[in-house]
Chain A
Amino acid sequence: MATYVRSNAWNDDGTFDNPDLYWYAKGVAAMMARPLNDRNSWWFFAAIHAEYLPGTPNAQPGFPGWQAIPPVPAVPVAPLPAQSDMDTFWDQCQHQSWYFAPWHRGYLIALEEQIRQAVIALGGPATWALPYWNYLGTGTQYEIPPAFTQATLPDGTPNPLLVTARYGPQNDGDIYIPIPPVSGKCMTNTVYTGSNSATPRPGFGGPKTGFSHAGNVSGNLESNPHNQVHVDVGGNAPDGSIYGLMSDPGIAALDPIFYLHHANIDRMWAQWNANGNVNPATSDWLLGPAGSGGRPFVVPLPGGTPWTYTPQDVDDLGKLDYTYDDLTTAAKAAPSDALAVRLQKLGAPAMTAQTPESAAPGTARDTAAGSELVGTHDGALQIKTSGARAQVRLDAAVGARLTDSLKSASLESPPDRTYLQLENVQGTQDAQKLQVYVNEQLAGTVALFGLRRACMGDQAHGGSGLSFELDITGVIDSLYVENALEAGTLDVKILPANAVSADAPLTVGRVSVYREQHR
């Protein structure tokens, strides 16, 4: 048995009767008492994820600049650490990347070590471990554990887990996770990077990238639930003047709920592996970006000692002497035979052979053989509070290839998958979700977590904005069966969850549809 076991934050009703939460609060308070330039401080750790601190290139004139964050907590903006410390440790978080899961695992481990040292110093348990918030769990677990909303700890001291700028999905301070659209659907994926009939691209863990502080398209675990939960917890202030800390990567790790959310994301990755799914085995992933000359992953351990790690160092919790309380008891996700269901829907001949997903766990592979554009709505689309509408025109020749694929679908000739892309989405409001409909059928919901940073021209993303890809295979199959693809156009409707103000415009550079062939 591992020394450190992460348990459900909703144990003991998610209150301070749960010792994991009580000691977490004590440890957070200890870290918050340290100055910004201390590698062991709460603020330094938040900046490792990302920051908007005055005096750095990421400084913002108003919110979300750290100087404009309303207390509590009272966020310090000085003294800045040495430039070498900032260069080594800060602004590392990996997003829209296949390094998303391993980078955050190492980051959690380091934070946990810091908290544990503080807990031990205060007379707490030596095996304390970070609890996780399983918002996809049964009962009322979709609500934030009550310990995060109380003003004081049982001993009467201020509760460091309470945060002012945390507004929730309705922008009213009620913090919960709406299910759906938040889901654990990614757990049915069978490949980490790539696609097959059980896995839409770019795969469970994300697309292959180099060091990716801000990338382009999120992996399926990152997209939902990760991004969605960030935006739901953060939300917008009732007057719309600011948004919640969790909504933006540059301030998210200041909120103590951040680490419980990421513990749950980490648990889902561990559970996905426990279900028999495998991580990439190539050196590009195992050795991380540093293996090919890129920036290494480095976090400070207690005392400030740097720990440089690679995905290979953290790809199995056993290597780190950690586990979760539910990995052994969680029901193994039975692979739904997605291909069989599709073939039946498309009217393919009855199957007798075994479909790829029925194969033994761990043997699933990326079966994508090629991808091409099917149609677009050319020109930028401005999204207003009332939404936006676009007619996606399908190229006749490519559209015919798509329908041919659906018509001749069989086990030996799998039908194409189809995707809708919102390309070069630009805006400054991360606390926003977009519901996307194709011919009035819900195609999915995307959360704009990271949008502001992706649109900053002289930052890690270069200002191209974010792109979102929705798997619309099921919608297109239905339209094919109904002969609705023959029209040659698709009606795409985009509805924002929150108001879009005139001084914070939201645009989509292009709406497009792609087909992906499979072997």
Chain B
Amino acid sequence: MSERERARRRVATGLLLGSGLGWAGLLAAPDHALLLAFCRGDGGAWSWPSLRILLDAAPLAPLAAHWALMLAAMMLPTLVSPLMHVHQRSFRQRRPRAFVLFLTGYIAVWMLAGVLLTLVHLSTNAALSPSASPPLWPALVAAAVALVWQCSPAKQRCLNRSHTHRALAAFGRAADRDALAFGLEHALWCVGSCWALMLVPMLMAHGHLAAMLVVTAVMVAERLDAPAPLRWRLRGLGTAIRLLTARARHARSRLLRLPRHSGAFKTASRA
């Protein structure tokens, strides 16, 4: 394994560990699907609190903590490439500091975005009619919006910009400023790319975590695709399926010790 691959693996391992902690936190407190709990009565029936009452009743700290756990679980696996850029372009002794600054900028933007997305979520629930069980349509509407956004050229532009890695200063305050600015800039394009997908699990009354897992897979997969021209097309899902299929094929080959395919040329052209 090359030196660069080893470094990449270390960065990826750290991020996956952080993501795992996020998932563990969410699993440990599933009904800290606080966002849902705040909108329901104890008996599971929908309540009617106004947005203000909801916010009064919902302490900000647990809301923020839940959002941070979601971020850690879902977004950290997407940060291998930009953090490798920070790793490669920083002095070794400054790497931890640069990582912290990048993540500070990145998380700050996402926390602000979280305020907006949470408001959308709370106000949607506040507007719902009372019923015995929460309705499906908010999640379906969110999924429809996410699908349109996912296929749009605007989404591709955000993804393309997520691949852009700026030059970073290496010395002194300029280095700190650049690492922070890179985190802010990367997060802005990341929010632009992912906001609609993030809303889907938030608005799901059931299967919240399962939906988060699917969305995470799509977000990781779409970042593995190279930047592309702007046009309408479905992105992310196909790559995720191809990746999973390739992994399954490799695993099967290893298990059954199948030979790798070869020699397609002679049969294709000279049969």
Contact = CB atoms under 8 A, between A and B. Distances in A.
B131 interface: no
A296 B227 CA distance: 17
Interface string B157-197: 10011011111111100110000000000000000000000
A376 interface: yes
Interface in A425-468: 457-464
Given A58-B229, A283-B260, A395-B91, A376 B2 contact: no
Contact of A397 (B90, B93, B224, B242): B93
Nearest to B230: A458
A423 B167 contact: yes
Nearest to B178: A378
B257 interface: no
Interface string A279-294: 0000100110011111
Interface stretch (A130-138, A157-165, A251-259, A365-373): A365-373
A321 B266 contact: yes
Contacts of A225: none
B161 A457 contact: yes
A313 B269 CA distance: 13
A307 interface: yes
A185 interface: no
A21 B87 CA distance: 51
B264 A309 contact: yes
A57 B231 contact: yes
Contacts of B227: 457-463
Interface in B103-149: none
A424 B266 contact: no
Interface in A487-519: 509-510, 512, 516
Given A313-B262, A380-B167, A370 B3 contact: yes
Interface in B217-261: 224, 226-231, 239, 242-247, 250, 260-261
Given A57-B231, A113-B269, A213-B226, A371 B163 contact: no
A128 B226 CA distance: 38
Contacts of B168: 510
Contacts of B269: 113, 301-302, 305, 307
Given A307-B264, A313-B265, A398-B91, A460 B228 contact: yes
A371 B91 CA distance: 10
A194 interface: yes
B229 A368 contact: no
B166 A211 contact: no
Interface in A284-320: 286-287, 290-294, 301-302, 305, 307-310, 312-314, 319-320
A293 B246 contact: yes
A193 interface: yes
Given A291-B246, A293-B242, A57 B163 contact: no
A109 interface: yes
Contacts of B90: 373
Given A109-B265, A459-B229, A462-B160, A424 B166 contact: yes
B28 interface: no
Contacts of A308: 264
A139 interface: no
Contacts of B42: none
A379 B167 CA distance: 8
A57 B230 contact: yes
Given A210-B226, A307-B265, A371-B3, A462 B164 contact: yes
A208 interface: yes
A393 interface: yes
Interface string B76-91: 0000000000001111
A336 B228 CA distance: 43
Contact of A376 (B5, B92, B171, B268): B171
Q: Which of B2, B229, B260 has the most CB of A within 10 A?
A: B2
A458 B260 CA distance: 36
Given A193-B2, A371-B4, A464 B165 contact: yes
Given A301-B268, A313-B263, A458-B229, A293 B91 contact: no
Contact of B3 (A294, A312, A516): A516
B156 interface: yes
Contacts of A512: 89, 170
Interface of A: 56-58, 109, 113, 193-194, 207-208, 210-213, 283, 286-287, 290-294, 301-302, 305, 307-310, 312-314, 319-321, 366, 368-373, 375-376, 378-380, 393, 395, 397-398, 423-424, 457-464, 509-510, 512, 516
Q: Which 5 A-B pairs have the closest CB atoms?
A: A57-B229, A509-B167, A462-B163, A462-B227, A293-B242
8 contacts: A56-B229, A291-B246, A293-B239, A294-B242, A301-B269, A366-B3, A458-B227, A459-B228
Given A459-B229, A460-B228, A464-B165, 5 more contacts: A287-B260, A294-B224, A320-B265, A423-B89, A462-B226
Interface of B: 2-5, 88-93, 156-157, 160-161, 163-171, 174-175, 224, 226-231, 239, 242-247, 250, 260-266, 268-269
